[in-house]
Structure formats: structure tokens, C-alpha cells
Amino acid sequence: MGYEQHLFRSQEKKQISFEEYEDLIRTDDSLIRAEGYDHTIEWTGHPLGGIEGEAPRLFFGQGRISTRHPDEFVTKKMFELAEQLNASLGDDEGVFDPDHRKNIEDSCKEILDRVNREPKRSKWKFW
């Protein structure tokens, strides 16, 4: 069983509709339909090109948008989408708080700083 995160609204609010999901695809150029799937989109804006060479996927169903095995960058994107949808982001354990979002943003910055500091030449060359 894998780890999942979900965009959702509390019981008091209306669930995320398929129309809202479609609006996300129309308004965000980094979200595209996954080929062969009606309720799946790929996020092409991952700053490191994806996870293990693959664009992260988001799935719509049961009034929420979910993703499996997200890294820090996917979680950051999910927070952005949650804000756009006036929704919450969480996992099966509960809703993430603002401190978690700050930690994720800091972690993304550290990762990008580290990647940008790495030498661009092959490590095995001596000249």
C-alpha cells in the first residue's frame, strides 16, 4: 500500500466537482491530461523533471484530487491547488497545517539550491 495525499473539502463545504477539476486543467498550462485516462492529469512543471523520470500524476474521484508517492515539489504544487480550490490538503492521517506547508517550501528551496550548486562536469574527469 502506498502513501497518498488528497485535496478535499470538509463535510460542511461542497465537494470538489469534476467541473472544477476541468477548470484546473484549462487554467494551468503545467497540468495536462494523461493519455488514455479521463480522470488523470500529469503535472509537467516539476522543477527536477519529475519523479524517477515520470511526470507526477493526479487523480480525480469521489470529490477529491489525489496523488500517490509525492515528493516535496508535488506536495508544494498540491498546496497551491488547494488554495485555488479553497480546499484542504492532507493524507489519510489528517489535514496538513500551515507549518507543514512552510517546511515543504523550505525543503524545496534547499533541494533546488543543492542541485544548482552541484558541478556540471562529470566527476570521473580529472582535467
* Residue pLDDT, tens place only, 14-68: 899 999 999 999 999 999 999 998 899 999 999 999 999 999 999 999 999 999 9
User: What confidence tier does 127 reach under pLDDT thresholds 50, 70, 90?
Assistant: low
What domain range is 40 assigned to?
A: 4-117
Whether residue 35 is contained in a domain is answered as: yes
Residue 15 burial (CB count, 10 A): 14
Whether residue 16 is contained in a domain is answered as: yes
Q: Over the stretch 85-113, which tens digit does the pLDDT of each residue have?
A: 999 999 989 999 999 999 999 999 999 99
Residue 127 burial (CB count, 10 A): 3
CATH code at 39? Answer: 3.30.1400
Whether residue 56 is contained in a domain is answered as: yes
- Here the cell at position 112 is 533546488
Q: For the chain, what is the domain count?
A: 1
Please state the pTM of the whole predicted model: 0.87
The answer to whether the CB of 7 falls within 8 A of the CB of 65 is: yes
Whether residue 65 is contained in a domain is answered as: yes
Q: Which amino acid is present at 107? A: S
